[in-house]
Structure 1
Amino acid sequence: MMTLHTAQRIARLQQSDIRAMTRACERLGGINLGQGLGDLPAPLAVKQGAIQAIEANAATYTASEGIPELRVAIARKLARDNGIHADPAAEIVVTVGATGAFAATLQALLNPGDGVLLFEPYYGYHLNTILLTGNEPQFVTLNAPAFTLQEAVIEAAIRPNTRAIVLCTPANPSGQMLSQADIELISRVAAKHDLLVITDEIYEYIAYDGRQHISPASLPGLRDRTVMISGFSKTFSITGWRLGYVVAPAALARAINLVNDLYYVCAPAPLQRGVAAGLEQATDYLYQLKHDYQLRRDVLCEGLVTAGMRPVIPQGAYYVLADISEFGYADARSAAMALLETTGVASVPGSAFHQSVAGERLLRFCFAKDEATLRDAADRLKKFRPAAN
């Protein structure tokens, strides 16, 4: 009988708590506020653009960097909304989701053993992709509720093999947004240590209380060393379409596209056309998005407060971290399971986003749901009473 082996590169990987809680929620028939599964409808222009492409038999491979129409639409959007002027022919690569963009970037631009600085709480897929590519994750803990960047703390975390910093703004899971001062701080550190800056800006249009998203690559000192990653899953509520993109200096974009081609060949052809149509026509939708999500944020946070939790009010994205330390559970996973079993509402343990013990006092909730579902979840949460411990 053949001995079955698995690759050493996956030895440190585990199924994400996000997916584990989703499956537990499905078994119980609960309301899933764990995974970032947006329930809002996609804009009509996006859907119609994809339907028309399918009906026109746009089913063949595209160029690995994406169809020209979409790259031009992305370039227009970058100039209009991000203050970034990018050559659509040389500096933009369409990818299979932002996660595909991140994987291709690490493979193309870093060597095994290179250190990558992550700010915790971090997005778990960032960490696991870093591990899978053979890079070394290095951590800077940002403390709730302010999650403040401190230059001296970042400097202390940098090692001789550190080659890159990952920034997520608006952040998953904290909802924090980098300010101009934060980005200038990162620019100084990156220049001093000659670091690549990789930004995940997938939630760029979801910002609250009048805040404006700032793309780090819009700063002159960062443009030449930044790989900007974003996409359409969250903006257009099309998480299953798997469409993202990279914006980078031409030499870096070429390298990333080599890996993108090898791993994925190209992003889905008709869906690229749908998104291109959406970017050209859905401007009003993009600006309305933040208002709709702010209403949902406030509904959920009210429910969390009534349940005895202390939510960290997010500045952007569609997640909220809530402090559950007063409940007395041994760890965040126990608290999340108790909440699911007693209310039917799924969350994600904060430990999924931390290496440090700071995550054991937090749960993450997603409020990208239709309003009726979210109000039902909030009502259930208001009735939660922790079991005696």
Structure 2
Amino acid sequence: MRLSERSGSIAQSEIRSMTRACNAVGGINMAQGVCDLEIPKEVIDGAKRAMDEGINTYTPTEGLPRLRQAITDKMKRFYDVAIESNQVLVSDGATGAFYTACMALLNPLDEVILFEPYYGYHRSTLLSIGAVPTYVRLEAPQWNLDITALEAAVTSKTRAIVICNPANPSGKVFTREELERIGTFAESHDLIVFANEMYEHFLYDGAVHVTALSVPSLKNRCVVLSGFSKVFSITGWRLGYAIAPANVIEAMAQLNDLIYVCAPAPLQIGAAEGLEKLGDGYYAELSRIHQHKRDIFCDALRDARLNPSVPNGAYYVMTDVSNVSGNDDFEKAMEILERTGIASVPGRAFYHDDSGKNMVRFCYSKPLDVLEEAAEKIRKLR
């Protein structure tokens, strides 16, 4: 059978490719972004109890009212942002929420600006619906926003910008000033802003998460995306959500119903109980633990004569690997895997050109004993 043009536009994720290579040698997988912490008891117990109580059938496609309200309350609690529950859509992961948002708001050939290094699923999603990604480079190690470059990238076809904050893969945390500048830019060109805030609770060195919804110029033109995969360590549950103006959520819900029908009913209850019952200390501990892990692994990278761009958020580190043997990022990633047993992601997975050919990305969200073993192994590159 002849495949569609759409299917030919989507490449296999480098993350999955490196995961397979890692499994083949029995290595330590620092390619895939799986949070290693235990699932909070409140989340597990809530889902189990929901199953026992018979909450196992279809839910409204927008999500259970209890979870939508819990998300609404969370935005007020953490960011003092007031929204209504009809501005919330629960979907099958933040990836699912982003897909339905793009389907609802973008047309084929619309141009969408991505900041490089970008998260690969953002680019692939845009390509799958016929949108055209364009790119604005953020340079290591600080990944500062260059508004001049942003202005140079916009055309009459530009419809939207995608922000990942904190960013996968760079770990950049956008400041309020930067978001305000993006808001002013978006207003002047009448653009939508998709703000992926999945790593909002993974912050280091005093960094503060500023949600796009708290920036006046963005509030009515943004779609905020987040979820529970990382914060509750439930990547396999596929629970995420979008926050947007109510009319956008209505349009997204029709597509969510068509593609996913609804998110898993009892798992929504588990996530709701996590939001309702876990105190501020839980989230502070997430940051503390991951900052400690970041420091352990970045120290090891420096000892190996590599040059990490130390992240302020999320749990990934982009690393210059110019000193590693190989002609490009893939060969260098494979050299690291063969010599140390540590899997990483080749840097060009996060760029549209060859800019990442001397870079790789590591995920340091591993159990502490595994991370310490990985740190010792990576020092073999000296």
Bin for the TM-score computed over the shorter chain: over 0.9
Structure 1 counterpart of 2:348, one-letter code: S
SS in 2 for 1:59: coil
Question: Residue 135 of structure 2 corresponds to which residue in structure 1?
Answer: 139
1:195-210 aligned within 5 A: 195-210=191-206
Question: Residue 290 of structure 1 corresponds to which residue in structure 2?
Answer: 287
SS in 2 for 1:118: strand
Structure 1 counterpart of 2:197, one-letter code: E
Contact 1:18/1:35 (<8 A) preserved:
yes
Structure 1 counterpart of 2:87, one-letter code: E
The total of aligned residue pairs comes to 381
Contact 1:43/1:285 (<8 A) preserved:
no
| RMSD, matched Cα | 0.9
Structure 1 counterpart of 2:243, one-letter code: V
Structure 2 counterpart of 1:19, one-letter code: R
SS in 2 for 1:383: helix
Structure 1 counterpart of 2:132, one-letter code: E
Question: Residue 212 of structure 2 corresponds to which residue in structure 1?
Answer: 216
CA offset digits 1:221-267 (Å, max 9, x no partner): 11000100000101111111100001001111111111111110000
Contact 2:93/2:229 (<8 A) preserved:
yes
TM-score, scaled to structure 1 = 0.96
Structure 2 counterpart of 1:360, one-letter code: K
Displacement of 1:365 after TM fit?
Answer: 0.3
CA offset digits 1:73-120 (Å, max 9, x no partner): 1011001112321101x1001010000011000001111111111001
CA offset digits 1:247-298 (Å, max 9, x no partner): 0011111111111111100000010000000001112212211001111111
From 258, 273, 278, the counterpart of 2:274: 278
- Most deviating of 79-88 and 161-170: 79-88
Question: Residue 40 of structure 2 corresponds to which residue in structure 1?
Answer: 43
Q: Distance in 1 between matches of 2:321 and 2:145?
A: 24
Q: Distance in 2 between matches of 1:60 and 1:35?
A: 32
SS in 2 for 1:326: coil
Displacement of 1:57 after TM fit?
Answer: 2.2
User: Does residue 67 of the first structure (1) align with residue 64 of the second (2)?
Assistant: yes
Question: Residue 163 of structure 1 corresponds to which residue in structure 2?
Answer: 159
Report runs of 4+ in structure 1 exceeding 2 Å deviation. Answer: 326-329
1:1-389 aligned within 5 A: 4-88=1-85, 90-283=86-279, 284-385=281-382
Q: Distance in 2 between matches of 1:384 and 1:120?
A: 27
Q: Distance in 2 between matches of 1:140 and 1:223?
A: 23
Structure 1 counterpart of 2:336, one-letter code: L
Structure 2: 5+ residue runs without aligned partners?
Answer: none
CA offset digits 1:167-194 (Å, max 9, x no partner): 0000000000100111011011100100
Displacement of 1:328 after TM fit?
Answer: 4.8
Structure 1: 5+ residue runs without aligned partners?
Answer: none
Q: Percent identity?
A: 47
